Amino acid sequence: MNYFSSDFKLGILGGGQLGKMILAETRKFDIQTYILDPSKEAPSQFGATQFFIGSLMDFDTVYQFGKMVNLLTIEIENVNLDALDKLEAEGLPVFPSPKTLRMIQNKGKQKDFYVENNIPTSPHQRFVDLNDLKKSIEKDELVFPFVWKCAQFGYDGNGVKIVRSAIDLVNLPDVECIAEQMVPFKNELAVIVARSVSGEVKTYPVVEMEFHPEANQVEYVICPARIDDKVAQKASDIALQVSQAFSHIGLLAVEMFQTADDEILVNEVAPRPHNSGHYSIEASYTSQFENHLRAILNLPLGNTASKVAGIMVNLVGEEGFSGQVVYENIEKIMAIDGVTPHIYGKRETRPFRKMGHVTIVNENMTEARKIAEEVKNSIRVIS
């Protein structure tokens, strides 16, 4: 198949920042791209060959979009799977497959899948709605504290809450959900696995995530993780086991906990490029976005090793600011060696909205971490 400078059309469902960063790679290879997104302001509107506005959850919209392209991929999981089933049945390659997406889209099904496949994960219970969960507490079948997660449509700290007492139940939405046992962990880790159509598999180095205490959003992604080699090996092995079980094609980001006694538990996965791999644009031989393309187009996978230590800082809207975005002190951080900002193209900021990220690369991890702190404290996303 000739993908380059040809009539081949790659379709991408979702036009957010992940789509935008995939487009940097399709443009490098001169591959035609069609993008579908509900927002006319989507970050991917400028980089695609053709940009279409429409709902990703509407059967007809997704089906008709799929009929225009030669291969379909996603940058967000919340898409109409029935339309993808039909397109796949009619012969359109869809990666990741709707079958894989079905298991991942619902967090309850995803957790059950780990248990069924002997993948280590924290104990959990599934509930049809909030009332069902409350009954379970009344019968002492569920005890505080626990982690509440909505089963579908949660993202980046939305749809996740630590429930310590009955008071914390008050503002929870009445939806299908799961309750997970609290895990005393010392690190949150992630491994990105690339798997091609023909079954070639590569993993990126284990990264470590430092979280914002209130927003439940990642503040820093650090590669390589500052952990023991044996723990890193165990995390990589488990990520490969998860990838094998889902038999996904493309990228799979596997988020994990390293417990106090160095066990590795799988938290959740994302079958697409992921926040934990953004550092790879500057720090790796092959970025996660390029390897996603290589995997779904069945091209040889690129080298996933890092050239240098890389740290990513998320740029999120500052609290108390909404409106036309201003990146304060961006020149100041750009004056520092090894610092590259990525601006996603969202004109409107609001508190904790992901607006961009900054990568810091350095031969020395300690130095990189110091610069990351300086970047974090200098740049402000305000209006």
180 marked as part of a ligand binding site: yes
CATH number at residue 259: 3.30.470.20
Could you tell me if 86 and 151 lie in one domain? no
Rounded mean pLDDT, 287-300? 98
Q: How far, in Å, are 149, 163, 271, 329, 370 from residue 374 at the CA level?
A: 33, 34, 32, 11, 6
326 marked as part of a ligand binding site: no
41 marked as part of a ligand binding site: no
Query: What does the pLDDT read at residue 171?
Result: 86
If 0-12 CB within 10 Å is exposed, 13-18 middle and 19+ buried, where does residue 49 land? middle
Query: What does the pLDDT read at residue 157?
Result: 64
Choice among 218-222, 230-234, 264-268, 300-304 with the minimum mean pLDDT: 218-222
Q: Are 332 and 300 in contact (CB under 8 A)?
A: no
181 marked as part of a ligand binding site: yes
- Predicted TM-score (pTM) of this structure: 0.95
188 marked as part of a ligand binding site: yes
In the chain, the number of structural domains is 3
Q: Are 159 and 150 in contact (CB under 8 A)?
A: yes
For 213, the domain range is 185-382
Q: Are 339 and 358 in contact (CB under 8 A)?
A: yes
The DSSP result for 332-345, as a single string, is: HHHTSTTEEEEE--
268 marked as part of a ligand binding site: yes
CATH number at residue 29: 3.40.50.20
138 marked as part of a ligand binding site: no
Rounded mean pLDDT, 81-107? 97
290 marked as part of a ligand binding site: no
Q: Does residue 112 form part of some domain?
A: no
* Burial per residue of 322-361, b for 16 or more beta-carbon CB atoms within 10 angstroms, e otherwise: eeebebeebeebeeeebbebbbbbbeebbebbbbbbbbbb
